[in-house]
Structure 1
C-alpha cells in the first residue's frame, strides 16, 4: 500500500493545495487532473486528499455512551427509561415503589422500609447470580430472610420477569406480609424485579441508621434468539424461533443480542404482538447470515457483551451500535435491510480493473493526520472495580508514534465491554481503522451488482500496487450501474489486534507498610516477681502502635493471652501463675489492626511460696 499511486498522489495533492490551500478542490474534474499528467487512462481514478477522509469518519461514527444513567446507582426516577440488561452484569436497578410498613410490634412505628426495584425489562432474564449490600455478600433462606448478620433485618423476594408472572412479589417481614398498598395484582409481568425489605431496630447491631445500604444484583440478563439453534433457518438445528421468545436462551454473544434487538422485544396484548423494545424488524428485513457470521467469530474470539441500556433517552440505532461495538462490529443499512460488519480477516472475491469503472472513481490519497491515532486509553466496565467504568491499560503502537512524530492519544469508551483484554483488542482495531485510506466511491458495471457491503475486492489499476478494498455501502442507479463506497483493508491488523493484551487499572487507595517491628529488648523487662505473679515494666517506643498485646506461657508451652493495653502503659502485672514454675512473657505491638512481631522476655522462675511453720502442705496438714 506504500506505493499506492504514489506519484499521482503527489501531483494531485500539490494541485489541490494550489487551488484551495487546504485540500482537493471540489470542482477539480478528472479532465483537469489528467491534464496535469496523472497517467490513469479512460476516466478511472480521482484522488482526493482531505474531504473524502472526513466522510470516512461519518460512515463509521462511533456510538455515543449509554444515556439512561449509571447501572450501579440505586435511584428512583419517574422519568427514567426501562433498563435492558445483557450478558452477566451487576446492576442496582430502578426503584419503582418505596413504602413504609409496620412489621415488628416491639419496634417503632413504620419500622420497615420496603423497596420494589426493576433490574431489567423484557424478561424473563437468565437468572440471579448473587447480591451484595455495601459491597458485602448477602444470601437469603427459602423464606427470603437474610442469613448471617442481616437475619431478621433484611428480606428479599425476586422474579425473573415471566410474561405473565403467576404472582406478585411477596416476602414476610415480622407480621407484615406485603408493603403498604402492595397487592396480588402488582405482578410486574415481563420485568425482572425484586422486593427488598429493610427493618429499622436500634437494638440490633445493624439497623441502617445511615440509610439504605447500596445494593448490587449480579444477574444473567435477557434471553436471545440464535438462528444456529433454529431448525427452520438454513443450517440451524433446534427449537429456537425468531417470533417466539419462550424458545430463546441466555447468552453473552454480542451478535445474538444485536440480532435480537433488531427483531425487537414483544408482548401479546389483546391477542396482538406489540413491540416494547428494539427495532421491531421482520426477519426478512434483516440479513441474518451476517449476524450468524459475527456470532461465530465472537464465539471463536471470546468476545462478550454485558451491561445495561435504557429504553430512553438511548436511541434504538445507537443501542444497536453499542452492542455491535462490543464484538468489533458495526451495523449496516443495505437497501431496506439491516446487516452488520465484523472486523475479521476477509478474502478478496474479485478484482476491479480500469475496464470495470464507469465514470469517475474517487479515493482519498491517504488518511489525514488529524484522523490518525496511535494510542488509545480504553474505558470499560470492570467487575474488579464494583462494575464501574474505568480506564484500562494504554494501548499504543510504537511504529505509528514514530511515523506520526508524536503521541496522538484518545480515550475511547466501550460501555458494554466487561473485560480488559477485549477492550484492548477493540482499542487496537480503532487505532488501525483510523489509519485506513478512504472512503472512496467506485461506479461499476452491472456485473458487479451481486457484491454487497462487507465483501472485499481488489483494486488493480495501471501504475499501482493492488489495493484491497472493504465495501461499506452500495447504491444501484437506474441504468444498473452500481456505486460502491469502500475503504482500504489491511490484513495484518487483525493478528495485531487479537494479540493485544489488556491490563486493568490498579485498585485505588493508599498503600501502607504493614511491617510492625517487635519491641526492642530495652523497652520491656521483668522488674519483679513472686507470689504467683510477674511484673513487667517499660514503655512503648513505636509511634504507630495503638495497643500492646501481652501473653505468657510456661517454658515450651502454648501462648496464653494476658490482655491488650493502651500504648501509654508502663507496667503490666500478670497474676495467678503457678509457684515454682518457669514462664516466658510475650509483648507485641498492634497498629492499624495488624499485630507485629513478638518480644520474648524471660525465662522467669517463680519461687515457691514459704509460710511460717513450714510449707503450705505442712500448714494444711496441721489444720
Structure 2
C-alpha cells in the first residue's frame, strides 16, 4: 500500500435508515436480518397545517423572519456525516444534497478498501451531476473515477427509481437485495492501495450535486386545465423541473407516499383540496424572466421531518409569496405587479354590525431600509455566501439613518433573485395597513389574493388598492375578509442591482497532503488585474515568494483565481517553478438539449505548463461505438531530459485528454542514515512531446518520499501518433533516490458527443491556481 489508512471503521451498524426506508430496501426482513436491526412500520402521517384563517399573516411577514442557513442545514451539505437513523430529505432544482453515511465497512485482502453507503433524498431524483471531493471536481467514466482519483474511487449511484437494482458491494455485508426504491443513495468505494491522495483517511468533504425531485406541473395536465400527460396522483408522469417555486411548493403539498398509500413526507393533500388554478398562475409568474434569470427559482433541501409550518415559512421567505388555506382549499401566490382592481368596495357592502377592524399602518419597529445576508452560492459548492447589500437611500433619509435587517435566503441560488427579494422586503415593510371587514354575499365572490379598491370611511373615502389575504365564510353567508394595502412601487424591479461585497474565502486543496492556506479575496476579480481579451496574462507580483515584486496584486502562497470560458488561454507573465494545480468551480451549463443522457460537465486545464494552460469547458455525453483502451510501454532509460521515454502507439487521442503514467521510484523510504540527509524524497517531472524530435514540454511535477509504484495523470490536448511521453528525476535528497522504471502510459478513446458549457448567455467558470511546495 502506498499510504496507510489513518481513520477507517469496521462495520457501521445501520440502526434503521429510517423506518420507511428499511421497508423499501429489499424487504424489511432481509435488511433487518443482515444488519441486526428490527423492522418498523411507518405509521400514516396525517398532520394538517393551516396557513390562513385565524393564523393568516400579512404579506411580507415571512420575508424578515426566514430561518438562518444554519437552521435549515443549508451550510452542511458538503460534509459527510454518520447517521444510521438519518431522516430522508426533499431536494429540488439543481443543488447539493447531504451524504448521511448509513453503512461503512473496511475490507479487502490487505484491508485496503473502505465502502460507504450514503443516503441523500427520500424520493426519486432525476440524476447525479457531479462530485467534489475536498473541493476538487472528480470526473468519472461510468462508476470509475478518472484523472487523479483513477483506481482510488468508485462511485455507484441510485436515483431511487422504482424497480432499480440494488447496489452491489461484493465481499461486504451490504445486502444484495437492498434496492432502495424511493431513496436516492450512493456507495463510495475507496481504494487505499498504491495511491498518494487519501493521506488523511476517508474524505468527509463530499459535495454531491444532483438534479432533484420530479415535480408535478398542472400546466402539463389536460385534466387540470393544462395540456399534457402529467397527473396529480401519478408520480410516473412527473418530470424534472429546475426549481419553479410554485411547483416546488405543490410537490410538498402533494407529498411522497409509500407503495401502500401511506404518506411518508409532505402534507398529502388530495387534488380536491388544492386550487390548481392559483398554482398555475403562480408557476407562470415564476417562469417570467427578470435580470436575465427566471423570476422565482428555488434550489435546495428540506429535511422531511413533517414540520409543515417550517417548510411553508421557508418557502414564503424565499419567494415573498403566500400559501394559504381558505374555504377548505390551499392557494398559492407569488409577488408580481397584478394590481388591476376587479371591483370597488364601499360602505354599502360592509355589515358594520358584524364588526370592522383597521390597522392604520405598519409597526414602526418593523420598518427597514437596508437588507444584507447570505444565499446559497453554486460557485462556492453550495455554501452560504453574502449577496450584495440592498439599500433604499431615499428611505434611509426619511428614517434618519439605516434600519438594517439580516435575511438569509437558504433556497435561493441566484444573486439577482436575492437582491429583488431584499428590495421587495424593504418596500413591503412600509405598507402594513390592514382592514378586516364583515361582508355579505359579495365577499363570497372574491378569490384569495384578489386585488380590489377600498373606498370606505376607514380610507377617508379615498380609493385604496388592497389585496385579499384571508377570508372565512359562515353558514349564514357572512364573509369575514382581511385586506392589505397595495402599491405599485412595491413591485418595481427596474432599479439597477448591486455589487457583491468583499468576502474571505479558503481555496481548494493546496496540495495532496490536505493542508490549507487562507487568502484574502477583496472582491476584485482576476479579470481586473490581467489584460483583457481571450489571452490573459497575470500581472507582476502574483507570487510574492518568487517575484519579490512590489507592483501588481500579490496573493499569498502562490495562489490566484479568475474566471474563464471554454477555449480561453491563460498565460503567466512569470513562470512557476513547476506547473501549478488548476481547479475549476461551478458554472456554465449543466445540461444541453442537444446531447443525449446522461450528461457530464468535463472541465479541464489543457496543456498545462509552468507558463499557462487552455481552458476546456465541455458538456459531454456518450455516443455509439464503444471504447478502445491503449497501454503504451514499457519505457526505456535513454538519458538526457527526460531520462525515461515511451513513444505513443496510436493516433487516437484520449477522450478526455487524460493520460495515466505508471512508474516506480526509489525514495529511501524516509530512513535516517547517519551522516546523510534525513528526508528521503525524489521529485519526478512528467513530460510530453507533440512532434517527433520537437521540444519536450514539462506538464507536471510531484514529490514522493516512499519507494513504490505510482500512477499520476496529466491532461494534454493534441497528442496524436507522432508524440511521446517522458518522466525524469528532477531532484532528490540522496543519490539513490531516482525513477527506477517507466512501466506504461494508459489512455482510452470513447465515442462521445460534446458541446461547449459556456455558450453566449451562460456563466463563466471560476478557477483557482495553487502552487505546490516546489512551485513556491
Residue number among 167, 170, 175 corresponding to 1:169 in the alignment:
167
**Cα-to-partner distance string for 1:236-294 (whole Å, 9 max, x where unaligned):** 111111111011000121111111111111231xxx32221110000010111111111
**Is contact 1:164–1:189 with CA below 8 Å preserved after alignment?**
yes
**Cα-to-partner distance string for 1:413-445 (whole Å, 9 max, x where unaligned):** 111111111111111111112111322211123
Give 1:63 shift: 4.6
Residue number among 377, 385, 389 corresponding to 1:390 in the alignment:
385
Where does residue 336 of structure 1 map in the other structure?
328
Residue number among 433, 448, 471 corresponding to 2:443 in the alignment:
448
Where does residue 491 of structure 1 map in the other structure?
488
Q: Could you tell me how far apart the structure 1 residues matched to 2:547 and 2:176 are?
A: 65
Task: Determine whether 1:261 maps to 2:252.
Answer: yes
Q: Could you tell me how far apart the structure 2 residues matched to 1:206 and 1:500 are?
A: 43
SS in 2 for 1:280: coil
Matches within 5 A, 1:392-541: 392-461=387-456, 463-496=460-493, 500-501=497-498, 503=500, 506=503, 508=505, 509-510=519-520, 513-514=541-542
Where does residue 192 of structure 1 map in the other structure?
184
Structure 1 length-normalised TM:
0.69
SS in 1 for 2:288: helix
Where does residue 608 of structure 1 map in the other structure?
none
With over 3 angstroms needed to count, the CA separation of the structure-2 counterparts of 1:491 and 1:594, relative to structure 1, is farther
Q: Could you tell me how far apart the structure 2 residues matched to 1:339 and 1:57 are?
A: 14
Structure showing greater Rg: 1
Where does residue 72 of structure 1 map in the other structure?
78
Matches within 5 A, 1:103-502: 105=109, 109-123=110-124, 125-142=125-142, 144-165=143-164, 167-170=165-168, 177-178=169-170, 180-201=172-193, 203-234=194-225, 236-251=226-241, 252-268=243-259, 272-301=260-289, 302=294, 303-312=296-305, 315-346=307-338, 347-359=340-352, 360-461=355-456, 463-496=460-493, 500-501=497-498
Residue number among 96, 99, 105 corresponding to 2:105 in the alignment:
99
**Is contact 1:100–1:179 with CA below 8 Å preserved after alignment?**
no
Give 1:213 shift: 4.6
With over 3 angstroms needed to count, the CA separation of the structure-2 counterparts of 1:333 and 1:63, relative to structure 1, is farther
**Is contact 2:577–2:774 with CA below 8 Å preserved after alignment?**
no
SS in 1 for 2:368: coil
383-392 or 510-519: bigger deviation: 510-519
SS in 1 for 2:442: helix
Q: Could you tell me how far apart the structure 1 residues matched to 2:233 and 2:438 are?
A: 39
With over 3 angstroms needed to count, the CA separation of the structure-2 counterparts of 1:454 and 1:216, relative to structure 1, is same
Alignment RMSD: 3.5
Give 1:210 shift: 4.2
**Is contact 2:244–2:297 with CA below 8 Å preserved after alignment?**
yes
Q: Could you tell me how far apart the structure 2 residues matched to 1:55 and 1:191 are?
A: 36
506-515 or 214-223: bigger deviation: 506-515
With over 3 angstroms needed to count, the CA separation of the structure-2 counterparts of 1:407 and 1:229, relative to structure 1, is same
**Cα-to-partner distance string for 1:146-168 (whole Å, 9 max, x where unaligned):** 21222222111111111232x21
With over 3 angstroms needed to count, the CA separation of the structure-2 counterparts of 1:238 and 1:362, relative to structure 1, is same
Q: Could you tell me how far apart the structure 2 residues matched to 1:441 and 1:354 are?
A: 13
With over 3 angstroms needed to count, the CA separation of the structure-2 counterparts of 1:60 and 1:483, relative to structure 1, is farther
With over 3 angstroms needed to count, the CA separation of the structure-2 counterparts of 1:560 and 1:237, relative to structure 1, is closer
**Cα-to-partner distance string for 1:103-162 (whole Å, 9 max, x where unaligned):** xx4xxx321111001121111x111111111111112223x2221222222111111111
**Is contact 1:420–1:502 with CA below 8 Å preserved after alignment?**
no
Give 1:204 shift: 2.2
**Is contact 2:120–2:184 with CA below 8 Å preserved after alignment?**
yes
With over 3 angstroms needed to count, the CA separation of the structure-2 counterparts of 1:505 and 1:92, relative to structure 1, is farther
**Is contact 1:225–1:242 with CA below 8 Å preserved after alignment?**
yes
**Is contact 1:261–1:320 with CA below 8 Å preserved after alignment?**
no
**Cα-to-partner distance string for 1:363-403 (whole Å, 9 max, x where unaligned):** 22222210111111132111122211222111111111111
Where does residue 533 of structure 1 map in the other structure?
none
Give 1:226 shift: 0.5
SS in 2 for 1:469: strand
Where does structure 2 lack aligned partners over 5 or more consecutive residues? Answer: 1-53, 506-518, 522-539, 550-574, 579-694, 699-728, 733-770
Q: Could you tell me how far apart the structure 1 residues matched to 2:547 and 2:237 are?
A: 66
Q: Could you tell me how far apart the structure 1 residues matched to 2:228 and 2:696 are?
A: 67
SS in 1 for 2:232: coil
Structure 2 length-normalised TM:
0.56
Where does structure 1 lack aligned partners over 5 or more consecutive residues? Answer: 1-51, 171-176, 521-544, 549-557, 567-590, 597-623
**Cα-to-partner distance string for 1:302-344 (whole Å, 9 max, x where unaligned):** 02110111112x6123213423543331211102211122111
With over 3 angstroms needed to count, the CA separation of the structure-2 counterparts of 1:114 and 1:179, relative to structure 1, is farther
With over 3 angstroms needed to count, the CA separation of the structure-2 counterparts of 1:448 and 1:119, relative to structure 1, is same
With over 3 angstroms needed to count, the CA separation of the structure-2 counterparts of 1:82 and 1:334, relative to structure 1, is same
SS in 2 for 1:485: strand
**Is contact 1:546–1:592 with CA below 8 Å preserved after alignment?**
no
With over 3 angstroms needed to count, the CA separation of the structure-2 counterparts of 1:163 and 1:63, relative to structure 1, is farther
Aligned residues: 470
With over 3 angstroms needed to count, the CA separation of the structure-2 counterparts of 1:189 and 1:68, relative to structure 1, is farther
Q: Could you tell me how far apart the structure 1 residues matched to 2:195 and 2:696 are?
A: 35
Q: Could you tell me how far apart the structure 1 residues matched to 2:175 and 2:430 are?
A: 60
